[in-house]
Amino acid sequence: MEDILNSLLRWPIVEDYFRTYSWAWPLNEVTHFVGLTLLVGIVGMFDLRIMGAFKSVPVNPLRRLLPWSVLGFVLVSFTGLLFATGVYANISVPTGTVIVNDGYLQIKLIFYFLAGLNLLLFYTTGMARAVENLGPGEDAPPLAKTIAGASLGCWLAVVYFGRLIPWGQFTSAG
């Protein structure tokens, strides 16, 4: 599995980009954090409102911010892919080796996937429609609250385990 991942995710053009331009890796990190801020910040506010916090705020104005969280998701996904495909330029360990051996990265990716499944659940169960017009003081259905809590938990776990990735265990591919 490691060899397959190494061959699929080792992109010399990205590695060369990070090696050539010393500002490229930090810029990618900043862009990643801006994406996280948009994604987790907006989704987090939305989730907290659905869960019952800030009940004086109607849901619709928060819902109108969600396209910005999609931009955050795109930024996080793109920069994360650049991190993965360019990691060899930074630490001389192939991507597949990092993925197979870094438990923190594996846990982050699991929560990233679960957050996506949770979002799918939010829309396929009709909970998105059930909460879209909640006014001040109105409560969301219990299932919507559960889904919102799971969403918030998943995204916080993505951030937490993402920060632990540099301390994960992996071996050099020699």
What amino acid occupies position 11? W
pLDDT of residue 97: 78
Measured CA to CA, the distance from residue 153 to residue 41 in angstroms comes to 13
22, two tokens: 């010393």
When divided into structural domains, the chain yields a total of 1
Q: What does residue 77 show for φ and ψ, rounded to 5 degrees?
A: -65, -45
Q: Is residue 170 domain-resident?
A: no
Q: Is residue 149 domain-resident?
A: yes
Q: Is residue 24 domain-resident?
A: yes
pLDDT of residue 174: 39
Residue span of the structural domain in which 115 resides? 2-165
Q: Is residue 158 domain-resident?
A: yes
Q: Is residue 126 domain-resident?
A: yes
b/e string for 86-113 if b means 16 or more Cβ within 10 A? bbbbeeebbbbbbbbebebbbbbbebbe
pLDDT of residue 6: 65
Q: Is residue 171 domain-resident?
A: no
pLDDT of residue 145: 97
Q: CA of 76: how far to CAs of 52, 69, 81, in Å? A: 28, 10, 8
pLDDT of residue 10: 72
67, two tokens: 């396209």
Measured CA to CA, the distance from residue 81 to residue 91 in angstroms comes to 16
Q: Is residue 80 domain-resident?
A: yes
b/e string for 140-165 if b means 16 or more Cβ within 10 A? beeebbbbbebbbebbebbbebbeeb
pTM of the full predicted structure? 0.84
Q: Is residue 35 domain-resident?
A: yes
pLDDT of residue 94: 73
164, two tokens: 């632990």
pLDDT of residue 11: 73
Reading the chain (174 residues) residue by residue, the pLDDT tens digits are: 777 776 777 777 888 898 899 999 999 999 999 999 999 999 999 999 999 999 999 999 999 999 999 999 999 999 998 988 888 777 777 777 777 778 898 999 999 999 999 999 999 999 999 999 899 999 999 999 999 999 999 999 999 999 988 877 653 343
pLDDT of residue 78: 94
